[in-house]
Structure 1
Amino acid sequence: MITISGLTKVYESRGRQVTALDGVDLHVREGEVFGVIGQSGAGKSSLIRCVNLLERPTSGTVVVDGVDLTALAGKGRRAGKDLRRARSSIGMVFQHFNLLSSRTVQDNIELPLEILGVSGAERSRRALELLDLVGLADKAKAYPGQLSGGQKQRVGIARALAGEPKVLLSDEATSALDPETTRSILQLLRDLNRQLGLTVLLITHEMDVVKTICDSAALMEKGRVVETGTVGELLATPGSRLATELFPVGGAATGPDRTVIDVTFHGETATQPVISQLSRTYNIDISILGAAMDTVGGRQIGRMRIELPGRYEENVVPVGFLREQGLQIEIVEPQDEARGAAEGEQAEARDARQDESQIDKQDAAPAATAPALVKDGAR
């Protein structure tokens, strides 16, 4: 549905060039929810704005539903008729809602249809239908200022669907919401994906978003895609950074003659007592150093770090047994354990410094501000 090839975006800033996207290649299949994750500055926002050409790429191509949007861009700043027509199949949901405060909820949803020249009666019918779809049928005459953040985002989603798009772009749509509201909006996006057959491309910096609704994901760093695939494939890929972030497990070997293994469970294996079977079959004591289990895309998936007595050469058969059960196995090298332990110590030291700094600030605060500090802490 979406194919991005060699996409580059370079901005001019104070006489120098800043590369936001550096040769990005990405493919989003029809009907899937695809998440692009990365830290601030990774290029996520530039990428999603280039998909509908709100930002014009410096080079590369963007093909949506078989149409090369970059070929329709032209040389002027304003979008031509052909590009506007192609954009009508792409809806976009923004982080900060972008609703017009002077218009009612219904009028906000009707706005894109008004621009497209749709008749008043049809605009009204479509807006009310969409409000019912997003669970706000009773808010048609309300104004944005009368709505909660989650309700505003539902209006934003309804407005994005007004033109009956095939693709929905979500630009950090949940990052301004509280956790409970975030879950409800994510569930709504998943429901719309299934009910309407929408292809959803979302960007986020939150791993829980990917874990909750994404079929596939890509990790971006410094304007490049460094890892991509279905969530299942990523979890099954040894050394996958996304898998490690989605299901972090830790723990170092308790001695030099130990084998530490990361085991990934998915599908039927997630509910089978494989570890206890291994222990009974080979009469070995197994230590569980860490574990994480969750539901991803409606399937239970988890990772576990276990320790077996003896070196790897002595555990080839037990490891083979685990692989025969359909589990993904990754041997944790000693240097990885040392690195993990060092990172843990650094994190603890950093947290301790932050705690000390906070205490110093509170101690240094004037007495008159003490009630405010207590009130903030309670809140």
Structure 2
Amino acid sequence: MITTTDLTKVYRTRDREVTAVDGVDLHVRPGEVFGVIGRSGAGKSSLIRCVNLLERPTSGTVTVDGTDLTALAGDGPRAGRALRAARTRIGMVFQHFNLLSSRTVQGNVELPLEILGLTRRARAAKARELLDLVGLSEKASVHPAQLSGGQKQRVGIARALAGDPKVLLSDEATSALDPETTRSVLRLLRDLNRQLGLTVLLITHEMDVVKTICDSAALMREGRLVESGKVSDLLATPGSELAAELFPLEGAATGPGTTVVDITFHGDSAARPVVSALARTYDIDVSILSAAMDTAGGRQVGRMRIELPGGFEENVVPIGSLREQGLTVDVRDEEPAGSPGPAAAAGESATADLVKE
């Protein structure tokens, strides 16, 4: 539904250039919720604004629902009309709501319908339908100043749906909301995704958003996508930075001569007594250093950091048995005692690189 190819956005001033988006290839499948996560300054907002050409890319292409938007971004009235028509299939929800204070809630939702040329009666009927869809039908006649933050965002969502879009873009839509309101807005977005078949592309700096709503996700850093895929696949990928950030684990080896292993449980394995079975089968003492359990991508997922007695060579067989059970296993330290090891260094780097706002 959304494809960007070698997408680049460079901002130029008199004395410098800033590459906000650097050769991004993004693929969002029809009907999925796709999250792009990264710290402030990673280029997330520039990327999503390039998708509907609110920002004109410096180079590369953007295709939405089979239409190359960058090919429509030329000069002249004909190109402008074609781009505006294509944009009607793309709704956008903003971080700070962007509602008109002088208009009522219904008036804000009717605004894009006025631009589309609908009659007053048709606009009113459509706006009431959308407000009912987002649970705000009783607020149609009030002004934005009388609404809570969550209610304002619901109005913004209703307005974004006015043109019956196939794609909904969300630019940090929940970052200004409290946790409870955030959860309710995310539930609404997921419900709309399912009811209307909407493809949702959202950007966020909050890992909980990815856990709660996203089917797929990408990690963005310094203008580039460093990791991308289905959340379930990423959780099953050894060394995945996103998996480590979704379920962070703590705890180091308690002494020399041991092996620290991170295990990711997903699907049916989340309910199996894997650790106790490992201890019984191989007659070893297994120490649990830390653990986390939650839901991500609509599935229960757990991660656990355990310590096994002996070096890596002594634990090849039990570690292999874990992998044979379909578990994702990362050996944190395969080096001699006292050396950080490549896997541990990668994990520490991942934790340091992604700083939540």
Q: How does 1:116-155 map to 2 (within 5 A)?
A: 116-155=116-155
Match of 2:296 in 1: 296
Match of 1:189 in 2: 189
Q: How many Å separate the matches in 1 of 2:40 and 2:252?
A: 31
Q: How many Å separate the matches in 2 of 1:192 and 1:12?
A: 38
Deviation at 1:255, TM superposition (A): 2.0
**Per-residue CA distance 1:33-75 (angstroms, 9 max, x = gap):** 0000111111101000000001100100000000000000013
Deviation at 1:154, TM superposition (A): 0.2
Q: How many Å separate the matches in 2 of 1:260 and 1:56?
A: 48
Q: How does 1:1-379 map to 2 (within 5 A)?
A: 1-75=1-75, 80-333=80-333, 334-336=339-341
Q: How many Å separate the matches in 1 of 2:101 and 2:143?
A: 7
Q: How many Å separate the matches in 2 of 1:225 and 1:77?
A: 35
Deviation at 1:121, TM superposition (A): 1.4
One-letter amino acid of the structure 2 residue matched with residue 335 of structure 1: P
Deviation at 1:264, TM superposition (A): 0.5
Q: How many Å separate the matches in 2 of 1:341 and 1:324?
A: 23
**Per-residue CA distance 1:240-269 (angstroms, 9 max, x = gap):** 111111110121112221111110000010
Distance change (3 Å), C-alpha of 1:42 and 1:76:
farther
Unaligned runs of 5+ in 2: 334-338, 353-357
SS of structure 1 residue aligned to 2:340: helix
Greater helix percent: which structure?
Answer: 1
Deviation at 1:297, TM superposition (A): 2.5
Contact 2:239/2:346 (8 A) holds in 1: no
Indicate the larger mover: 166-175 or 6-15.
6-15
Contact 2:250/2:290 (8 A) holds in 1: yes
Contact 2:241/2:347 (8 A) holds in 1: no
SS of structure 2 residue aligned to 1:145: helix
One-letter amino acid of the structure 2 residue matched with residue 258 of structure 1: T
Q: How many Å separate the matches in 1 of 2:24 and 2:327?
A: 32
SS of structure 2 residue aligned to 1:80: helix
Contact 1:252/1:341 (8 A) holds in 2: no
Contact 2:232/2:297 (8 A) holds in 1: no
One-letter amino acid of the structure 1 residue matched with residue 120 of structure 2: G
**Per-residue CA distance 1:68-91 (angstroms, 9 max, x = gap):** 000000136997111111000000
Percent identity reads 75
Distance change (3 Å), C-alpha of 1:79 and 1:48:
farther
Deviation at 1:341, TM superposition (A): 11
Q: How many Å separate the matches in 2 of 1:56 and 1:235?
A: 34
Deviation at 1:298, TM superposition (A): 2.0
**Per-residue CA distance 1:150-189 (angstroms, 9 max, x = gap):** 0000000000001100000000000111111011101110
SS of structure 2 residue aligned to 1:335: coil
Contact 1:250/1:340 (8 A) holds in 2: no
Indicate the larger mover: 274-283 or 171-180.
274-283
The ranges of structure 1 where at least 4 consecutive aligned residues each deviate by more than 4 angstroms after the TM superposition are 76-79, 336-343
Deviation at 1:134, TM superposition (A): 0.5
Q: How many Å separate the matches in 1 of 2:217 and 2:56?
A: 24
Indicate the larger mover: 289-298 or 169-178.
289-298
Question: Looking at both structures, which has the greater relative contact order when contacts are Cα pairs under 8 Å and sequence separation is at least 6?
Answer: 2
Aligned length, in residue pairs: 344
Match of 2:355 in 1: none
Contact 1:171/1:203 (8 A) holds in 2: yes
Contact 1:252/1:338 (8 A) holds in 2: no
Match of 1:361 in 2: none
Q: How many Å separate the matches in 2 of 1:227 and 1:342?
A: 17
**Per-residue CA distance 1:284-315 (angstroms, 9 max, x = gap):** 11000111110112210111110111111111
Contact 2:258/2:307 (8 A) holds in 1: yes
One-letter amino acid of the structure 2 residue matched with residue 97 of structure 1: F
One-letter amino acid of the structure 1 residue matched with residue 217 of structure 2: A
Distance change (3 Å), C-alpha of 1:20 and 1:76:
farther
Distance change (3 Å), C-alpha of 1:77 and 1:227:
farther
SS of structure 2 residue aligned to 1:118: coil
